[in-house]
A and B are shown apart, each in its own frame.
Chain A
Amino acid sequence: MTTIDREKLKKLQEREAKRFVAEHPRSAELYKRAQQSLLGGVSDELDEEVGRRISGFVTKSEKARTSLAPTEKSTWICASATPAR
Chain B
Amino acid sequence: MDLCLGDTGAMTGHSPEIVAEAVAKRVKQGITLMLPTEDGAFVGEDLKRRFGLPYWQFTLTATDANRFSIRIAREITQRPKILVFHYCYHGTVDETFATVENGVVGPRRGNIGPPVNPAETTRVVEFNDLNAL
Contacts and interface: CB of A to CB of B under 8 A. Distances in A.
Interface of A: 30, 33-34, 36-39, 41-45, 47-48, 55-62, 66, 68-69, 77-78, 80-83
B32 interface: yes
A39 B45 contact: no
A66 to B, nearest CB: 6
Nearest to A60: B29
Is the interface on chain B under 10, 10 to 19, 20 to 34, or 35 or more residues?
Answer: 20 to 34
Interface class of chain B by DSSP: loop
Contacts of A77: 35
Contacts of A57: 35-38, 40-41
Given A58-B36, A83-B31, 18 more contacts: A37-B44, A37-B55, A42-B36, A43-B36, A44-B34, A47-B33, A47-B34, A48-B34, A55-B35, A58-B35, A59-B29, A61-B32, A68-B35, A77-B35, A78-B35, A81-B34, A82-B31, A83-B30
Interface in B1-47: 29-38, 40-41, 44-45, 47
Contacts of A59: 29, 37-38
Contacts of A34: 36, 40-41, 44
